[in-house]
Amino acid sequence: MYIKLFHIHTYKDLYRLMVVSTDYFVVFSNLSSIPTIIYFQYHQRFYYSFQVLLVSLFSFLHHLNTSQLYIIYDNGLFSLLDGLYSYLSIYVFSIYLFLTNHNELKLELTLMQTILLSLTFMNIGSVIVLPVTVFLILFITGIHYTKINKFSFKNKYIYITLLLCAADITCYFIAVHTEYNYFHSFHHLFSFTIPVFVDKCVTYVPPNEATD
């Protein structure tokens, strides 16, 4: 195990230092999950707090290793767990947003974990796994259509959540095709903020329905 260090002597060294700085950015942008973890702890939604903690932890370790800032000989374990919990968090918070009976769907959660673990273990790319995840979310939501959340158009958090999701997806796919570290860091910032606004969407009470 070692930590990557540089001494600046030439412009080439400076460029390498700039590259390393983006490595640090993509690693430590995972710390943006801390306010979200604290938020769900404060509101006693411990499962969702733990979910965000696992996603950020495994993402931190995965990027720490792949950026070679600190080499961990894990035989691909952290890459597997990073992928698994990233896709699983999409399912968890989507179902939390869409369905009022999200706490009762134990079987669906188990099946989702099994399917995502299998796909991630086979190292199938996000081009396949992400659409499969979205399809299963919509399929499960359709099965429980009588429990779909009803949102008011006055719920401003819906529009904020949609905007954040669009920005998150855009940064994620730009990162794959262009400058990875920079855009993937912003993907982290957006993705760890979205759960808070998902919760705001679900718990929003219109002013005319609020009680003193």
Is 79 part of any domain?
Answer: yes
Q: What is the pLDDT of residue 68?
A: 74
Q: What is the mean pLDDT of each run of 10 residues along the chain (212 residues)?
A: 46 46 87 97 96 96 83 85 95 96 93 93 86 95 94 91 96 88 93 97 79 53
Is 1 part of any domain?
Answer: no
Q: What is the pLDDT of residue 31?
A: 96
DSSP the chain: --B------SHHHHHHHHHHHHHHHHHHGGGGHHHHHHHHHHTT-HHHHHHHHHHHHHHHHHHHHHTTSB----TTHHHHHHHHHHHHHHHHHHHHHHBTTGGG-HHHHHHHHHHHHHHHHTT--HHHHHHHHHHHHHHHHHHTGGGB----TT-HHHHHHHHHHHHHHHHHHHHHHS-HHHHHHHHHHHHHHHHHHHHHHHH---TTT---
Q: What is the pLDDT of residue 5?
A: 46
Is 4 part of any domain?
Answer: no
Query: In this structure, what token pair is assigned to residue 208?
Result: 């005319």
Is 166 part of any domain?
Answer: yes
Is 88 part of any domain?
Answer: yes
Q: Which domain holds residue 78?
A: 11-203
Is 73 part of any domain?
Answer: yes
Q: What is the pLDDT of residue 159?
A: 96
- Condensed to tens digits (0 to 9), the pLDDT of residues 75-114 reads 889 999 999 999 999 999 999 999 999 999 999 999 999 9
Is 132 part of any domain?
Answer: yes
State how many domains the chain has.
Answer: 1
Do residues 26 and 67 touch, judged by C-beta distance below 8 A? Answer: yes
Is 181 part of any domain?
Answer: yes
